[in-house]
Chain A
Amino acid sequence: MPKVNELYHPRSDILSLFSHRLCVDSSQKWRAEAAAFLARKGFPNKRVEQWQYTDLRVLGNVPYQMALQDNNHVCAKKLLHALPEWHDVLAFLPRIVFVNGYFSPVLSQVPPTLTLTSQHFNGGGENDFFKDTLHIGQQPFVALNTALADEEILLQVQEGVEAGQILMVSLALGGETPISFHPRYTLHIGKGACLSLVSVNTGEGRYCHNPVLNIKVENNAKLKHLTLFQEGDQGCVLETVCARIAGHGVYDSFALTLGGRLTRHEVYVLLAETGGIANVNGVQCLSSEQIGDITSVMVYGASECASRQTVRTVLSEYARGVFQGKVIVRRGAQKADGYQMSQALLLSDHAEVNVKPELEIYADNVRCSHGATVGALDEDQLFYLRSRGIPEDEAQNILIEAFLKESLSLLEDERLRRFCHAGLVRSFYSQKGASS
Chain B
Amino acid sequence: MSQLLEIVDLHAHVIADEQEKQILRGVSLSIPPGEVHVVMGPNGSGKSTLSYVLAGCDAYKITSGRVMFRGQNLLAMKPEERAALGLFLAFQNPVELPGVNNAHFLRMAVNAVRRQRGQEELDAVAFLKQARKVIETLSMAPDMLKRAVNVGFSGGEKKRNEVLQMTLLEPCFAILDETDSGLDVDALRVVAEGVNRLRSAEFSALVITHHQKLLEYLVPDRVHVMANGQMILSGGIDLARQIDQEGYVHVMKGASTCLK
Contact = CB atoms under 8 A, between A and B. Distances in A.
Interface in A373-405: 378-381, 383-392, 394, 398-399, 401-405
A55 interface: no
Contacts of B56: 383, 386-387
Interface of chain A, main secondary structure: helix
B112 A390 contact: yes
A394 B105 CA distance: 11
A387 B79 CA distance: 5
A397 to B, nearest CB: 10
A384 B83 contact: no
Contacts of A403: 99
A132 to B, nearest CB: 44
B115 to A, nearest CB: 9
Contact of A399 (B82, B100, B165): B100
A378 B97 CA distance: 10
A47 B89 CA distance: 53
Contact of B84 (A381, A389, A404): A389
Given A388-B169, A389-B112, A381 B97 contact: yes
Given A384-B94, A384-B95, A392-B80, A402 B100 contact: yes
Contacts of B57: 383, 387
Nearest to B57: A383
A406 interface: yes
Contacts of B88: 387
A299 to B, nearest CB: 32
Contacts of B59: 379, 383
A404 B169 CA distance: 28
Contact of B98 (A379, A386, A387, A402): A402
B70 to A, nearest CB: 15
Interface in B126-157: 148
B38 interface: no
A406 B98 contact: yes
B116 A389 contact: yes
Contacts of A402: 97-100, 148
Interface in B83-124: 83-84, 88-89, 91, 94-95, 97-100, 105, 108-109, 112-113, 116
A388 B165 contact: yes
A392 B109 contact: no
B250 interface: no
Contact of B100 (A386, A392, A398): A398
B78 interface: yes
A388 B78 contact: no
A387 B83 contact: yes
Interface in A389-425: 389-392, 394, 398-399, 401-406
Nearest to A384: B95
Given A387-B56, A387-B89, A388-B165, A398 B108 contact: yes
A389 B91 contact: no
A20 to B, nearest CB: 49
B56, B83, B97, B99, most chain A CB atoms within 10 A: B99
Interface in B47-87: 55-57, 59, 78-80, 82-84
Contacts of A399: 97, 100
Interface in A333-380: 378-380
Contacts of B91: 384
B6 to A, nearest CB: 21
B108 A394 contact: yes
Given A389-B84, A394-B108, A394-B112, A383 B79 contact: yes
A138 B79 CA distance: 57
A390 B95 contact: no
A389 B113 contact: yes
B160 to A, nearest CB: 16
B78 A389 contact: no
Given A392-B80, A402-B97, A387 B112 contact: no
A50 B55 CA distance: 48
B112 A384 contact: no
Nearest to B168: A388
Contacts of B148: 402
The listed residue with most B CB atoms (<10 A of its CB), out of A385, A392, A401, is A385
B97 A384 contact: yes
A399 B101 CA distance: 11
B73 to A, nearest CB: 18
B169 to A, nearest CB: 7
A384 B90 CA distance: 10
A390 B91 CA distance: 16
Contacts of B98: 402, 406
Nearest to B85: A389
A6 B236 CA distance: 81
19 contacts: A380-B95, A383-B55, A383-B59, A384-B94, A384-B95, A384-B97, A386-B79, A386-B80, A387-B56, A387-B79, A388-B80, A388-B83, A388-B113, A389-B84, A390-B112, A391-B80, A402-B98, A402-B148, A403-B99
Given A383-B56, A390-B109, A406-B98, 5 more contacts: A380-B95, A384-B97, A389-B80, A390-B112, A402-B97
Interface of B: 55-57, 59, 78-80, 82-84, 88-89, 91, 94-95, 97-100, 105, 108-109, 112-113, 116, 148, 165, 169
* Closest 9 A/B residue pairs (Cβ): A402-B99, A389-B83, A389-B113, A388-B109, A386-B79, A406-B99, A389-B112, A405-B99, A402-B100
